[in-house]
């Protein structure tokens, strides 16, 4: 039987916002945020031939207080001037995502919001695209790209991004095309190293890459600001522990931005069947060399290749040790395995660790299911089939509250935890 589940991806923001300001001032700010995105969405209706301004939930992840621009269908949200407010139920995971709740499809965005207006609008527009995504003909894909946590996968993604940075930083069309050609050569060579990578990367880019391109256009940045934003975004991205779920936020917005000057409205040609890499190769009129390995070897050092390769070799050795520890912790040693029934999950995609064919370790993750709420702050192993999650063995069990090393489980009625005396593993049982 195929289990139904919903996945939301959690991005933590770094910009601080004070919640100690006066209520009236704060609510005025909320109304201003809604007005900002409403104005820009209306101004950019031609982007998708649709006004993307839709219901929005702004959420304080600590108090679960929510502020909205529309009412809900059951009256949890109470009107206060131009906005609506209430408390988000505990069973709903908090994330930057699109969510169906109380009769509407919402863009959910966590506080604190970016202090920079254009970054703020970019974020809201990205999530609003996800709200309209189904009606625009795009499915919401959830794909693993674990090859981007391997040495060569990371090397050739980083080289692609370095080439894109140079394409952004030149006004010479010939030089720009050369850098775009090299970026796509690095990409195509990466695909040749990992069978199936072209499909899995493309699915995530159709989901998150197109959404981020949409956000970047609606943000209202001029061309100089956009170029600077993308370069800064790549530099920040490269400090992430892993690239497997967040690379699409960098690639497609840049290719799309650079294509805009020659082919405005290109995005409306994209469908769920489009191979984006092939689309951009054709759109930029690029011819790639037949021998990708030979040609990329010749240009590696134009894009900081020597340093990148050295850094990735060092990282690979550290990662091997980290993976060995996780395999012992969640596979070899006794552990607690929770099988999903109707799962909803939110997590930070920037620091996950793929473990061969066993699944992926998520250092921070929150799971809600029929059996309760699992909150993890020190690692859990998600199976490769997304049908179960493993944490360390329980240390303390009091009624419905189960605690382990860096995790807590709030158990619902009708469920209990049992130990297998033979293996030492724990599992959930249904009464």
Tens-place pLDDT, residues 146-162: 999 999 999 999 999 99
DSSP string over 228-251: HHHHHHHHHHTTSS--TTTTHHHH
pLDDT of 19 higher than 60: no
Q: What is the pTM of this model?
A: 0.90
pLDDT of 20 higher than 50: no
Q: pLDDT tens-digit profile of 336-393?
A: 999 999 999 999 888 899 998 899 999 999 999 999 999 999 999 999 999 999 999 9
Cβ atoms of residues 350 and 246 within 8 Å: yes
Cβ atoms of residues 228 and 335 within 8 Å: no
**Helix 197-204 vs helix 173-193: crossing angle, to nearest 10:** 120
Mean pLDDT of 117-122: 98
Q: pLDDT tens-digit profile of 324-343?
A: 999 999 999 999 999 999 99
Phi, psi angles (nearest 5°) of residue 382: -85, 130
**Residue 24 confidence class, pLDDT cut points 50, 70, 90:** low
Specify the pLDDT at position 21: 42
pLDDT of 12 higher than 80: no
Structure tokens at 285: 């009129």
Mean pLDDT of 206-217: 97
Which CA distances in Å does 37 have to 110, 112, 125, 144, 411?
A: 16, 16, 7, 31, 40
| Count of alpha carbons within 13 angstroms of residue 148, beta-carbon side | 28
Specify the pLDDT at position 8: 52
Distant-in-sequence, close-in-space partners of 195: CB < 8 Å, separation ≥ 6? none
Mean pLDDT of 280-297: 98
pLDDT of 96 higher than 90: yes
Strand partners of residue 398: 401
């Amino acid at each position: 039987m195929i289990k139904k589940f919903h996945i939301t991806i959690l991005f933590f923001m770094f910009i601080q916002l004070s919640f100690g300001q006066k209520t009236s001032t704060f609510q005025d700010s909320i109304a201003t945020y809604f007005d900002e995105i409403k104005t820009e969405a209306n101004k950019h209706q031609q982007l998708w031939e649709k006004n993307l301004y839709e219901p929005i939930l702004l959420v304080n992840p600590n108090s679960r207080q929510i502020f909205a621009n529309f009412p809900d269908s059951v009256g949890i949200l109470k009107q206060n001037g131009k906005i609506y407010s209430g408390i988000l139920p505990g069973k709903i995971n908090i994330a930057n995502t699109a969510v169906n709740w109380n009769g509407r499809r919402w863009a959910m965005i966590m506080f604190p919001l970016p202090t920079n207006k254009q970054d703020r609008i970019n974020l809201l527009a990205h999530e609003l695209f996800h709200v309209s995504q189904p009606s625009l003909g795009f499915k919401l894909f959830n794909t693993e790209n674990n090859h981007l946590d391997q040495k060569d996968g990371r090397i050739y993604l980083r080289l692609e991004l370095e080439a894109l940075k140079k394409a952004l930083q030149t006004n010479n069309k010939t030089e720009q095309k050369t850098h775009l050609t090299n970026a796509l050569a690095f990409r195509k060579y990466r695909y040749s190293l990992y069978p199936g990578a072209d499909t899995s990367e493309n699915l995530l880019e159709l989901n998150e890459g197109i959404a981020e391109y949409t956000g970047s256009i609606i943000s209202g940045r001029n061309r100089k600001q956009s170029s600077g934003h993308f370069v800064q975004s790549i530099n920040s991205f490269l400090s992430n522990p892993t690239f497997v779920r967040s690379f699409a936020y960098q690639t497609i917005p840049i290719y799309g931005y650079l294509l805009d000057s020659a082919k405005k409205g290109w995005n409306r040609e994209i469908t769920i069947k489009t191979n984006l890499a092939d689309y951009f190769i054709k759109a930029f009129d690029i011819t790639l060399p037949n021998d990708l390995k030979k040609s990329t070897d010749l240009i590696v050092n134009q894009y900081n290749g020597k340093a990148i390769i050295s850094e990735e070799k060092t990282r690979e050795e550290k990662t091997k040790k980290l993976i060995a520890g996780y395999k012992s912790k969640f596979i070899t040693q006794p552990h607690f395995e929770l099988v999903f029934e109707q799962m909803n999950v939110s997590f930070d995609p920037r620091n996950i660790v793929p473990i061969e064919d066993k699944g992926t370790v998520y250092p921070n993750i929150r799971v809600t299911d029929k059996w309760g709420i699992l909150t993890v702050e020190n690692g859990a192993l998600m199976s490769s089939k997304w049908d179960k999650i493993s944490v360390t063995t329980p240390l303390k069990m009091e009624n419905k509250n189960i605690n382990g090393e860096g995790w807590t489980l709030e158990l619902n009625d009708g469920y209990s935890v049992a130990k297998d005396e033979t293996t030492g593993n724990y599992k959930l049982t249904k009464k």
